[in-house]
Amino acid sequence: MALRSDLPHGQPSDAREPDDFFANTLVLCTFHRYVCANMTTSSQPLSLLREVSVGGAVVFDPCWSLAVPNQAGLYIIRDLRGTLYVGRTCSLHRRFAEHWERSHSQGLAAAIRSPIWRLEFIWIDAPSSDLPALECGLIAALNPKCNVLHNLSD
């Protein structure tokens, strides 16, 4: 697998497949609809949306770990069932490896061992100060199946 230097974060040239664009756009559109529907008088959620972008997406497999940047951000793990997990970390690269080796979520660990189709790791670029609010918004909007805090609130 050849790395191209003109791709961000040293991404492998085939890291994205054509359908990734539509899946990543769907993630942001779902979040945007959630923010607009639940907006209060504060304009902060709308200003957050202007600074959010999908940083990248790779197949959730150890051989793709070098394509994941070592920076803070939000991440989404999903497969054909939909969004499995939404998280926030100070090192996307380290968290990618931690989830693969030993996920703290039993539901996610089971999903990683028995994926339906292809597991994907998608990371979102946003200012560090906005990550907690964005994480809560994404969890509410995407309804991930394996987030422990989300499941406890049901």
What pLDDT is recorded for position 23?
Answer: 61
pLDDT in tens, 5-62: 344 444 444 444 445 555 666 666 666 665 555 554 444 555 555 667 788 899 999 9
Burial class (CB in 10 A: 0-12, 13-18, 19+), 8: exposed
| Annotated domain spans of the chain | 13-152
Per-residue pLDDT tens over the stretch 74-94: 999 999 999 999 999 999 999
| CA distances (Å), origin 93, targets 22, 110, 137 | 24, 21, 23
Domain range 13-152, its CATH number among 3.30.70.1560, 3.10.310.70, 3.40.50.720, 3.40.1440.10: 3.40.1440.10
Q: In what order do the strands lie in the sheet with 82-89?
A: 53-59, 120-125, 73-79, 82-89
pLDDT of 24 reads 61
Give the model's confidence band at 149: pLDDT under 50 very low, under 70 low, under 90 confident, else very high. Answer: low
Are 123 and 100 within 8 A, CB to CB?
no
